[in-house]
Structure 1
Amino acid sequence: MADATYDLIVLGSGPGGYVAAIRAAQLGLKVAIVERELLGGICLNWGCIPTKALLRSAEVFHNMKHAAAYGLKAEKIEADLDAVVKRSRGVAKQLNQGVTHLMKKNKITVHMGTGFLTAPGKIDVTSEKGKESLTAKHIIVATGARARDLPFAPADGKRIWTYRHAMVPAEMPTELLVIGSGAIGIEFASFYNDMGAKVTVVEMMDRIVPVEDADVSAFLEKSLTKQGLTIMTGAGIEGLTSDAKGVTAKIKGKDGKIAEQKFSHAIVAIGIVPNTENIGLEPLGVKMERGIIATDGLMRTNVPGIWAIGDVTPGPWLAHKASHEGVIAAEAIAQALGNKDVHPHAMDKSNIPGCTYCHPQVASVGLTEAKAKEAGYSVKAGTFPFIGNGKAIALGEAEGFIKTVFDAKTGELLGAHMVGAEVTELIQGYTIGKQAELVEQDFMQTVFPHPTLSEMMHESVLGAYGRALHI
Structure 2
Amino acid sequence: MAETQYDVIVLGSGPGGYVAAIRCAQLGLKTAIVERELLGGICLNWGCIPTKALLRSAEIKHFMEHASDYGLKVAGKIEADLEAVVKRSRGVAKQLNQGVTHLMKKNKIAVHMGEGTLTGPTSLTVKSDKGEEKLSAKHVIVATGARARDLPFAKADGMRVWTYRTAMTPPEMPKKLLVIGSGAIGIEFASFYNDMGADVTVVEMLDRIVPVEDKDISAFLEKNLTKQGMTIMTGAGVEDLKVSDKGVKAKIKDAKGKVAETEFSHCIVAIGIVPNTEGIGLDKLVEMDRGFIQIDGMGRTKSKGLWAIGDCTPGPWLAHKASHEGVTAAEAIATELGVKGLHPHALDRANIPGCTYCHPQIASVGLTEEKAKEAGHEVKVGTFPFIGNGKAIALGEAEGFCKTVFDAKTGELLGAHMVGAEVTEMIQGFVVGKTLETTEAELMQTVFPHPTISESMHESVLASYGRALHI
Distance (whole Å) between structure 1 residues aligned to residue 138 and residue 296 of structure 2:
19
1:264 maps to which residue? Answer: 265
Q: Which runs of 4+ in 1 moved over 6 A?
A: none
Q: Does 1:68 align with 2:68?
A: yes
Distance (whole Å) between structure 2 residues aligned to residue 439 and residue 3 of structure 1:
54
Distance (whole Å) between structure 1 residues aligned to residue 13 and residue 242 of structure 2:
36
Matches within 5 A, 1:358-373: 358-373=358-373
- Find the residue that maps to 1:131 and give its secondary structure: strand
Tell me if the contact between 2:3 and 2:134 (Cα under 8 Å) persists in the aligned partners. Answer: no
TM-score after normalising by structure 1: 0.99
1:51, CA displacement in angstroms?
0.1
Distance (whole Å) between structure 1 residues aligned to residue 342 and residue 398 of structure 2:
46
Tell me if the contact between 2:416 and 2:430 (Cα under 8 Å) persists in the aligned partners. Answer: yes
Distance (whole Å) between structure 1 residues aligned to residue 166 and residue 405 of structure 2:
39
Matches within 5 A, 1:67-146: 67-74=67-74, 75-146=76-147
| Paired residue type of 2:107 | N
Distance (whole Å) between structure 2 residues aligned to residue 2 and residue 325 of structure 1:
32
- Find the residue that maps to 2:405 and give its secondary structure: strand
1:185 maps to which residue? Answer: 186
Distance (whole Å) between structure 2 residues aligned to residue 459 and residue 262 of structure 1:
46
Tell me if the contact between 1:2 and 1:109 (Cα under 8 Å) persists in the aligned partners. Answer: no
2:462 maps to which residue? Answer: 462
2:220 maps to which residue? Answer: 219
- Find the residue that maps to 2:398 and give its secondary structure: coil
2:442 maps to which residue? Answer: 442
Distance (whole Å) between structure 2 residues aligned to residue 241 and residue 60 of structure 1:
35
Distance (whole Å) between structure 1 residues aligned to residue 123 and residue 383 of structure 2:
54
Matches within 5 A, 1:341-360: 341-360=341-360
| Paired residue type of 1:436 | L
Alignment deviations for residues 253-292 of structure 1 (CA, whole Å, 9 cap, x no partner): 111111000000000000000000000001x331111110
- Find the residue that maps to 2:417 and give its secondary structure: strand
1:340, CA displacement in angstroms?
2.0
Distance (whole Å) between structure 2 residues aligned to residue 120 and residue 311 of structure 1:
19
1:165 maps to which residue? Answer: 166
Distance (whole Å) between structure 1 residues aligned to residue 104 and residue 285 of structure 2:
31
Tell me if the contact between 1:177 and 1:265 (Cα under 8 Å) persists in the aligned partners. Answer: yes
Matches within 5 A, 1:331-342: 331-342=331-342
TM-score after normalising by structure 2: 0.99
Tell me if the contact between 1:178 and 1:189 (Cα under 8 Å) persists in the aligned partners. Answer: yes
1:32 maps to which residue? Answer: 32
Alignment deviations for residues 202-240 of structure 1 (CA, whole Å, 9 cap, x no partner): 000000000000000000000000000000000001001
Q: Does 1:205 align with 2:190?
A: no
1:3, CA displacement in angstroms?
7.8
Matches within 5 A, 1:227-238: 227-238=228-239
Distance (whole Å) between structure 2 residues aligned to residue 96 and residue 281 of structure 1:
28
Tell me if the contact between 2:174 and 2:198 (Cα under 8 Å) persists in the aligned partners. Answer: yes
Distance (whole Å) between structure 1 residues aligned to residue 33 and residue 242 of structure 2:
41
Tell me if the contact between 1:162 and 1:269 (Cα under 8 Å) persists in the aligned partners. Answer: yes
| Paired residue type of 1:13 | S
Q: Does 1:48 align with 2:29?
A: no
Tell me if the contact between 2:121 and 2:285 (Cα under 8 Å) persists in the aligned partners. Answer: no
Count of residues in Structure 1 that have an aligned counterpart in Structure 2: 470
Could you tell me which runs of 5 or more consecutive residues in structure 2 were left unpaired when the two chains were aligned: none
2:318 maps to which residue? Answer: 318
Alignment deviations for residues 377-428 of structure 1 (CA, whole Å, 9 cap, x no partner): 0000000000000000000000000000000000000000000000000000
Q: Does 1:402 align with 2:427?
A: no
- Find the residue that maps to 1:172 and give its secondary structure: coil
Which range moved further: 73-82 or 345-354? 73-82
Distance (whole Å) between structure 2 residues aligned to residue 76 and residue 348 of structure 1:
50
Distance (whole Å) between structure 2 residues aligned to residue 280 and residue 111 of structure 1:
18
Distance (whole Å) between structure 1 residues aligned to residue 171 and residue 128 of structure 2:
30
Q: Does 1:304 align with 2:307?
A: no
Alignment deviations for residues 3-42 of structure 1 (CA, whole Å, 9 cap, x no partner): 8110000000000000000001000000000000000000
Note the aligned Cα RMSD (angstroms): 0.9
Tell me if the contact between 2:179 and 2:267 (Cα under 8 Å) persists in the aligned partners. Answer: yes
Distance (whole Å) between structure 1 residues aligned to residue 310 and residue 408 of structure 2:
34
Distance (whole Å) between structure 2 residues aligned to residue 120 and residue 386 of structure 1:
53
| Paired residue type of 1:310 | G
Tell me if the contact between 1:20 and 1:323 (Cα under 8 Å) persists in the aligned partners. Answer: yes
| Paired residue type of 1:442 | E
Distance (whole Å) between structure 2 residues aligned to residue 269 and residue 62 of structure 1:
24
Q: Does 1:277 align with 2:278?
A: yes
Distance (whole Å) between structure 1 residues aligned to residue 96 and residue 453 of structure 2:
29
1:2, CA displacement in angstroms?
10
Distance (whole Å) between structure 1 residues aligned to residue 306 and residue 107 of structure 2:
23
1:76, CA displacement in angstroms?
1.8
Tell me if the contact between 2:120 and 2:285 (Cα under 8 Å) persists in the aligned partners. Answer: no
Distance (whole Å) between structure 2 residues aligned to residue 185 and residue 77 of structure 1:
25
